[in-house]
A = this chain, B = another copy of it.
Amino acid sequence: MKIQNDIILFYREHEAKAFLKRIWGRKPVFLCVIGVTETAKIPGISAAGKTPELTDYTPPADVEYLLLGKCICIPGVPVTPEGIPTPALITRVAVRLADIPVFIVGSGLRIEPRVPFFKLAGSPGRDIRTGRAVKGVKEVLSQAEILGTTLAKLADYLIIGESIPGGTTTALAVTLAMGFDTKGKVSSSMPDNPHELKVKTVLEGLKAAGLRMGDLREKPIEAISHVGDPMMPAFAGLVMGAARRIPVLMAGGTQMGAILAIINALNPDTLTNVAIGTTKWIVADRSSDLKGIVKQITDIPILAANLDFSESRFEGLKAYERGVVKEGVGAGGAVIAAIAKTRGTVTCREILKEVEEDYRRLIRIR
């Protein structure tokens, strides 16, 4: 692991560096894929919302904040139950400082954002404990591929992030169904990672679907349909459509393991054009193991934004150093892209400064 201009080359250092070189100074487009799953409403699963019921509002509110600097569908911004604000604050600062165009992609929403977004087919994800989590996976996948192909004509590379509460649990479920050993390896937006609850939830889902771990080794569409979430086919389709032609930075934490497994089964060739971009808080997390997940699937590089909020004036931001939230809304990837696009002119320190400004404004107006 090597630190270079605020970017940690966390895994496959040589390839990570080559990826960074390819995108250095180039013009990206940032996408945020949003969706919801009832799985997030299982008490204790997700901290991506003040209460489990509010998780339906988190993805649309995140992207409203990202585009407008304020949320319309909720007052304030999405927060964890303890009041720690959404990583959309970081993403917004990054894309603003580097003037990176942003598009929202929605599949399976209950509440639609009040900003322009690409609507794909798909309906809100069911609780994975039903064993019938997502409808119309193939159609979403193929629509997203069309969109990815079109976007690849317009951008030098894509950064793709996501916001879906409960997403690490569905990621655990899909990877386990596909035969990867990810128990205890997915991260959490909470400081205490509820691994046991997640595994219990997944096992219930697999059982309901009549499946055992590894039964769907080469069958990602079935895995998503049974125990995944609607963000997954949208995200994977975008990557596959775009990465044929341009580099793609998958911006997220351990959920990217599920996306990687899906693409690796459907179209592994495109992965030569793909890296994972995340935050220091993910790669430094002792309660999860992104590298351990990626390694089992296929060896793509991992980069991480070396953000440090320990010196922040605000407790709400300092909390990120305690492992609350950690990642989301493509924050890590957006920061990496902001640094790369501006050839290092934008720095992690400057991003923290601007995030503090925005946060100060937010807590004032609330």
Cα(A115)–Cα(B149), bound, Å: 13
Interface string of A129-154 (1 = CB under 8 A from B): 00000000001000110110010011
Q: Are A101 and B153 in contact (CB-based, < 8 A)?
A: yes
Q: Are B121 and A118 in contact (CB-based, < 8 A)?
A: no
Any B CB within 8 A of the CB of A26: no
19 further interface pairs, Cβ-Cβ under 8 Å (given A112-B119, A116-B147, A118-B118): A29-B154, A99-B153, A101-B150, A101-B153, A102-B150, A103-B150, A105-B116, A106-B119, A114-B121, A114-B139, A114-B143, A115-B143, A115-B146, A116-B143, A116-B144, A117-B119, A118-B119, A119-B119, A154-B155
Interface string of A84-120 (1 = CB under 8 A from B): 0000000000000001011101100000101111111
Any B CB within 8 A of the CB of A67: yes
Which residues of the other chain, B, contact A116 by a CB distance below 8 angstroms? 105, 118-120, 143-144, 146-147
Taking the closest CB of chain B, its distance from the CB of A294, in whole angstroms, is 28
Taking the closest CB of chain B, its distance from the CB of A99, in whole angstroms, is 7
Cα(A150)–Cα(B32), bound, Å: 14
Which residues of the other chain, B, contact A105 by a CB distance below 8 angstroms? 116
Cα(A348)–Cα(B116), bound, Å: 35
Question: Which of A29, A106, A115, A119 is packed against the most chain B CB atoms within 10 Å?
Answer: A119
Taking the closest CB of chain B, its distance from the CB of A38, in whole angstroms, is 22
Which residues of the other chain, B, contact A103 by a CB distance below 8 angstroms? 150
Cα(A115)–Cα(B140), bound, Å: 9
Stoichiometry, as copies per complex, reads: 2
Which 3 A-B residue pairings sit nearest by Cβ, starting from the closest? A119-B119, A116-B147, A154-B154
Taking the closest CB of chain B, its distance from the CB of A27, in whole angstroms, is 9
Taking the closest CB of chain B, its distance from the CB of A234, in whole angstroms, is 9
Taking the closest CB of chain B, its distance from the CB of A323, in whole angstroms, is 34
Which residues of the other chain, B, contact A147 by a CB distance below 8 angstroms? 116
Taking the closest CB of chain B, its distance from the CB of A32, in whole angstroms, is 13
Cα(A101)–Cα(B103), bound, Å: 15
Q: Are A146 and B29 in contact (CB-based, < 8 A)?
A: no
Taking the closest CB of chain B, its distance from the CB of A340, in whole angstroms, is 17
Interface string of A35-64 (1 = CB under 8 A from B): 000000000000000000000000000000
Which residues of the other chain, B, contact A99 by a CB distance below 8 angstroms? 153
Taking the closest CB of chain B, its distance from the CB of A72, in whole angstroms, is 9
Interface string of A154-172 (1 = CB under 8 A from B): 1100000000000000000
Cα(A119)–Cα(B112), bound, Å: 9
**A99 nearest CB neighbor, chain B only:** B153
